[in-house]
Structure 1
Amino acid sequence: MNEIETARDLEAALAHGSPLSGLRLQDLDLTRHEERLLTRTDLEGLVVLGGRLSPTLDNHLRLHGALVFPTDPHAPVNPYRASLYQPHELYAGMENNGYEQTPDALAYHWSRDADAHHDVFITLLRAIHDDSVSDALTEFVGGAPVVGVMGGHALTRDSEAYAGAARLGHTFASAGLVVATGGGPGAMEAANLGALCPTDAVVSEALGRLAGIPSFRPSIEDWARRALEIFDDIIAIPVQDSAVRSIGIPTWFYGHEPPNVFCNGIAKYFSNAVREDGLLARSTAGLVVLHGAAGTVQEIFQSITPLYYAEADQTLAPLVLVGVDHWSREVPVWNTIEALGRERGMGEAVHLVDTIDEAAELVLSSRT
């Protein structure tokens, strides 16, 4: 492999003695390897993506044909990161300084400021960041089957619908599926919560503790603080299976939606388009759509396109909309979906049901 993302792999590459040309060093602290790197001249085409290195090493690498990509010292997040975010990482410093001084909030403002001033360098760094996150997400998920659960951010923690979404997430994760959501509040948080919890009893306890702070309005701090406390308690529970159960894929495009914390890993993007495509493309085991509005409708129609154009003999993962009245009357997209699916394989893959139990059964039965 030419991508080196850990100190251990870099140490092995240096010890092996093979040319370093053509390698990609991503987000590494090179200061501890500086003495040996300064003796190497086989550096043509070596690419250094971020990380730490001294001016002396930087000059040596460039002198011998390496490409060293710089970062913005004022960036609140690392554009070259090699791993997904963890919940406490995005909310770091909130206890002392409030949400607006967390990396999550600062990243949003950093990105918006770049748009306002047409800063091409920060635009480039955002693109690099999102590509790095996509690479990390692919490695994190591996070959595990993923089911996407979509839904709106307005669902409150004290509602029956929130509890239902949590039960749905738990059902899928207990069946061996990775639950992926848009990573925000509401239905997304509920599905991630249920997936992360190892037992039904833990789901019920978490729901009871969350109900006292039903929304991220008016206080994101209170909303996130309660969730982080519960997250810490959940991940401290000993389990035999350490597999990934819950992934959030949010975006800074929706700056008013804080990321939910009930995830094994969080893939947060600056580009909503890249984020949406990655979320839907990775939902290989199916997609369940709960109540939502404009953002959820966008996801529905984006997911329909590959179903519509699929080859006749292609096996299609199910797309299940939950809420007959909602999707046929309040937000009437079902008639369009049904019309597009006529006389195509897509027609057998799309479903409109009224309960989460029906949705779970459709997804799980499609895998047998």
Structure 2
Amino acid sequence: MNDKQYVIDDLSANESWRIFRIISEFVDGIEHLQEIYPAVSVFGSASITESSPVYELGRKVGRLLAESGFSVVTGGGPGAMEAVNRGAFEAKGKSVGLNIQLPREQTANPYTSISIDFRYFFVRKVMFVKYAVAYIILPGGFGTMDEMFEALTLIQTNRIKPFPVILLGKDYWKDLISWIKKTMLMKHRMICPDDMELLQCVDDPAAAVAAIKRIVIL
């Protein structure tokens, strides 16, 4: 057997073991999270500091969700995620953090009652949506956008039941919403007019929670 064959066999073995790691993450996630329904997954930037108005926005929405009987799920890290978990934790609600292993190690925030570490982004994404009855999107970067557009795609293609996807902070999101409407919808017709109804945008955390409660009966 030549060196090339050894490399191929080694890669095959690694791929086989990777399947088991993936399965174990699904099992671990389901075992830990099956009691959190109904949950609201909230996303936002890890770069937000405690002095930012967005931090207080997140803390308030986390508290209101917990007081309304929802479990609160975030990415478990610092910034906006910490703020949301903190609000839910202080309200004595279920505060869930789904952490991810990153090249620059993400530190779990201290305000979670349930914390799980994931190696694979796609497993983590399944857990974000599996027990969620709504998404709330705080200001954030690529990761936040990724979660938002994935939810919209899953709803648009009927892979999950429609649920509220609420952008919190009109000033931050207004240009993106305008671009979606003017460029994607009106200019290039890449989406349908009904697709615009999948998104809501509000400034007040109480309005975001009220929008969810109008649809979700606890």
TM-score of the pair, normalised by structure 2 = 0.79
Amino acid of the residue matched to residue 80 of structure 2?
A
Q: Which residue of 1 aligns with 2:122?
A: 273
How far apart, CA to CA, are the structure 1 residues paired with 2:109 and 2:21?
Answer: 20
Name the Cα RMSD after superposition: 2.8
Whichever structure has more helix as a proportion of its residues is: 2
Residue 158 of structure 2 is aligned to residue 310 of structure 1? yes
CA drift of 1:367 comes to 1.4
The structure richer in strand per residue is: 2
Displacement, 1:343?
4.1
Alignment of 1:54-133 (within 5 A): 127-133=19-25
Asked if 2 retains the 8 angstrom alpha-carbon contact of 1:130 and 1:269, the reply is no
List gaps (5 residues or longer) in structure 1.
1-117, 200-243
1:252 aligns with 2:101: yes
Aligned residue in 2 for 1:13: none
Q: Which structure is higher in RCO with an 8 Å CA cutoff and minimum separation 6?
A: 2
**Of 149, 169, 192, which residue of structure 2 is paired with 1:301?**
149
Query: Percent of pairs identical after alignment?
Result: 24
- Does structure 2 retain, via aligned residues, the 8 Å contact 1:291–1:322? yes
Contact 1:322 1:359 in 2 (8 A): yes
CA distance, structure 1, for counterparts of residue 51 and residue 34 of structure 2: 34
Q: Which residue of 1 aligns with 2:66?
A: 173
The one-letter amino acid of 1:300's match is M
Hey, what does 1:287 align to over in structure 2?
A: 135
Deviation at 1:253, TM superposition (A): 3.0
1:155 to 44, 48, 64: 48
Q: Does 1:135 align with 2:1?
A: no
Specify the SS of the correspondent of 1:303. Answer: helix
Query: 2:215 — aligned with what?
Result: 366
SS in 2 for 1:249: strand
Q: Are the aligned partners of 1:250 and 1:268 in contact in 2 as well (CA < 8 Å)?
A: yes
Aligned-pair CA distance for 1:260: 1.6
**Does residue 325 of structure 1 match 2:171?**
yes
Instruction: Pick the structure with greater CA Rg.
Output: 1
Name the structure 1 match of 2:5.
Answer: none
* Residue 352 (1) aligns with residue 201 (2): yes
Pairs aligned (count)? 201
Alpha-carbon distance in 2 for matches of 1:254, 1:174: 36
Equivalence for 1:183: 76
Question: Which one-letter code corresponds to 1:168 in the other structure?
Answer: V
Residue 293 of structure 1 aligns with an amino acid whose one-letter code is: G
* 3-state SS, counterpart of residue 152 of structure 1: coil
Q: Does the 8 A contact of 1:308 with 1:341 survive in 2?
A: no
Residue type of the alignment partner of 1:137: G
For residues 164-213 of structure 1, the C-alpha deviation after alignment (integer angstroms, 9 at most, x for no partner) is 211111111121111111111101111111112236xxxxxxxxxxxxxx
Q: Structure 1 residue 334: deviation in Å?
A: 5.5
- Asked if residue 336 in structure 1 is aligned to residue 185 in structure 2, the reply is no
* Counterparts in 2 of 1:126 and 1:349: CA distance versus 1, 3 Å: same
Instruction: Give the distance between the partners of 2:161 and 2:115, measured in 1 at CA.
Output: 29
Work out whether residues 247 and 266 of structure 1, in 8 Å CA contact, stay in contact via their aligned partners in 2: yes
Q: Counterpart of 1:352 in 2: which secondary structure? A: strand
Displacement of 1:301 after TM fit? Answer: 0.9
State the shift of 1:307 in Å: 1.4
**Counterpart-to-counterpart distance in 2, 1:289 and 1:306:** 16
1:121 and 1:252, CA in 2 relative to 1: closer, same or farther beyond 3 A?
A: farther
Q: CA deviation at 1:254?
A: 5.1
- Quick check: 1:253–1:272 contact (8 Å CA) kept in 2? no
What amino acid is aligned across from residue 128 of structure 1 in structure 2?
A: F
Distance (Å, rounded) in 2 between the aligned partners of 1:129 and 1:334: 42
Separation of aligned partners in 1, 2:104 and 2:173: 27
Which residues of structure 2 form unaligned runs of 5+? 1-9
Question: How far 1:135 sits from its partner (Å)?
Answer: 1.7
Residues 180 and 122 of structure 1: is their aligned pair in 2 closer, same or farther, counting only changes over 3 Å? farther
Aligned-residue offset at 1:130: 4.2
Output one character per residue of 1:123-165: Cα deviation in whole Å (capped at 9) or x when no partner. 6656534432322322333252110000000111233321221
